[in-house]
Amino acid sequence: MADLHDPPLPWSTRLWFAFACFFRVLFDPQFAARAWQAREAAALPPAERAEPRQLERARSAGAPPAAEAAESVAAPAPAAGAPAPAAAPGVSSALQLLSLLQREGRLVDFLEQDIASFGDADVGVAARMVHEGCRKALRSHAKLAPVRREEEGAKVTLEAGYSPSEVKLIGNVSGSAPYRGVLRHRGWRADELSLPTPVAGHDASVIAPAEVEL
């Protein structure tokens, strides 16, 4: 396990890892649950380490070391027939949004289809249908707004204290703010997100149910 004092990962590695984790969280509920548990565990303060002299005093007094005491306490057995833990709220919402994009625009079907053997005209027709459906779903459940109000191609100045989460510097990045450059992408932010209330007992990991024609 990595230590907090280990050197930070390079940017390229973090970018690849972020994409890998994003899709694993979306499509692998078990991985998402483990990631959520790791996130919660990371917020806990580290356990205090006992000094050697304290351990010697404890042993001489007949008290077992903390590690031995912890091992002697058996973990409670899970209740028989207990329901499986529900998906984390953030994971459930992401799966629900993906399900909407699949239902309205067949996004997952399109991405999972091998289009190498199809002609450009066929791919173009399919892409138009996916675009229309996904756009409808997105606009029905999310209110989006550009991060920057300027038109793309306009010259902009970033003063010191700008938010790196809102503006990403690209190209020849050097020196410090203020930065002067050209706006290549306005960015997007979600001002509102309204998802349907999940039905009790619904399995959010099922993006699209299988269909059987009778």
What is the rounded average pLDDT of the residues 153-172?
96
Instruction: Choose one of 103, 123, 149: the last residue of a domain.
Output: 149
Specify which residues 158 forms β-bridges with.
Answer: 179
In a domain, 145, yes or no: yes
Instruction: Write the pLDDT tens digit of every residue in 120-151.
Output: 999 999 999 999 999 999 999 999 999 999 99
Instruction: Write the pLDDT tens digit of every residue in 45-87.
Output: 555 555 556 556 655 655 555 445 444 444 455 555 555 455 5
In a domain, 23, yes or no: yes
Q: How many domains does the chain have?
A: 2
Residue 121, amino acid: A
In a domain, 138, yes or no: yes
In a domain, 136, yes or no: yes
Retrieve residue 161's tokens: 């204290």
The pTM (predicted TM-score) of the whole model is 0.55
Q: What is the pLDDT of residue 92?
A: 84
- Domain containing residue 108: 88-149
Instruction: Write the pLDDT tens digit of every residue in 167-177.
Output: 999 999 999 99
In a domain, 137, yes or no: yes
In a domain, 96, yes or no: yes
- Are the CB atoms for 26 and 98 separated by under 8 Å? yes
